[in-house]
Copies of this chain bind each other. A is one copy, B any other.
Amino acid sequence: MMSDDQFVLRAIGRVESTLTDAASAPKQGDEGAPDAWLVFDLEVSDALRNLAAGDEVLLLTWLDRAARDVLAVRPRSDPNRPEQGVFSTRSPARPNPIGLHRVTILAIDGLRMQVSSLEALDGTPLLDVKPVLRGIDER
């Protein structure tokens, strides 16, 4: 049973990537991550309308292989750095392991979307796509 402080996320698709191992994956997209495909569920196809190749978007994912009971980490997994609270780091380990990725759409083919430089692992559940906010007069 859900309490008032719990909410249920539903995956809207999955990542298809050549990255399969967290230990060898780049820590951020701009650190050599490969292009990847997002495969969306048929139920959300209407929500994908108006997205196009060339758009810069924010992709939200569920980091399903991350620890949720870790509140402090050594940044970059560097043993020489002191522990920091996870909210001041981009560690996947955190109470709600939501991944946030800024990517460019390279191609769209029905429910499949290719994006640039994504550090998420193969099979990672997709949660949301949001446009990058433009200036106030272009909204």
Contact = CB atoms under 8 A, between A and B. Distances in A.
Q: So how many copies of this chain end up in the complex? A: 2
A62 B139 contact: no
Nearest to A51: B88
A107 interface: no
A58 interface: yes
Contacts of A49: 72, 84-85, 88
Main secondary structure of the interface of A (DSSP, over half): mixed
A128 B47 contact: no
Nearest to A93: B47
Contact residues on A (Cβ < 8 Å of other chain), bracket: 35 or more
A96 B10 contact: yes
Given A5-B11, A7-B125, A47 B72 contact: yes
A5 B127 CA distance: 10
A98 B60 contact: yes
B8 A8 contact: yes
